[in-house]
Amino acid sequence: MQNKVSVIIITGNEENNIRACLESVTWADEIIVVDSESNDSTVKIAKEFTEKVFIKKWEGYAKQKTFALSLTKNAWVLSLDADEKVTINLADEILSRDLSQSNGFLIKRDNYFLGKQIKGCGWGNDWQLRLVNKNYSKLSDRLVHEKFLIEGKIKKLNNSFSHYSYSSIKDALAKINNYSTLEAIEKVDKKKVNIFTIIFSPSFYFLHHFIIRKGFLDGLHGVIISYLHMMTKLQVQLKILEIKKSSLNDN
């Protein structure tokens, strides 16, 4: 007997990605899409694949996914982002594997940047906890890079899924602007920012991704990704300064 698995996807103006994502999970017993009031064709496309499309005002990644998790009918849930796709081999493994061995499974994510699969920059060894038994799972309360927290054993699956993170430089810059804002809000009381951290930390971040994390293996793509990480680091620090300054002015 095949495993019954629910797939949850949170969306927001993802008309360019959602169709490919949903086509890759038509094997699932249940597909739930929670949309944050998109003003494009995301909802229309999603309804071609499932009747279970819910509209929820954006309250953050963790809260959106927690809501989606609460709507599922099956114990086992696969969580995907709209720019991700499940491979045929992974689908077969999820359906046929004895899931009772664990309460959650890590799955390797193959990351693509501007159409190229990335091996370095820390992207080539990216394991994500995405297949979970909801009875032993909850989302962390982080504003960005939220994760599932599992009570009990966690194992790894053998096959991977694909992540098409950025289709253009414009898209990449928009996303790092959003993520850096959330990270700054999250770290404003934890991070010290001064002239030295602003000068040296971003440069170190570039070298860390390009050399230590072997971004050089990806050539020009690795250079661009390392620069984007550097820009994210710089933006986080500048936004922390901005938040602190605003707080002082309010007082």
**DSSP result, 171-204:** HHHHHHHHHHHHHHHHHTTT----HHHHHHHHHH
Percentages (nearest 5) of helix, strand, coil residues in the chain: 45, 25, 30
Residue 11: the pLDDT is 97
For Cα atoms 188, 191, 197, give the angle at the middle one, nearest 5 degrees: 125
Using alpha carbons, select from 229, 20, 200, 201 the residue that is nearest to residue 122: 229
Residue 246: CB atoms within 10 A of its CB come to 10
Task: Please tell me which residue, 92 or 142, carries the higher pLDDT value.
Answer: 92
Q: Residue range 18-46: average pLDDT?
A: 98
What is the architecture, at CATH level 2, of domain 5-166? Alpha-Beta Complex (3.90)
Instruction: Report pTM.
Output: 0.91
What is the rounded average pLDDT of the residues 226-235? 95
Q: Checking DSSP bridges between strand 104-113 and strand 126-133, what pairing results, if any? A: antiparallel
Domain residue ranges in the chain: 5-166, 169-250
* Predicted confidence band of residue 144 (pLDDT cuts 50, 70, 90): confident
- The kind and range of the H/E element at 53 are strand 53-55
Greatest Cα pair distance, the chain, in angstroms, is: 63
pLDDT at 7: 98
State the Cα–Cα distance between residues 147 and 145, nearest whole angstrom.
6
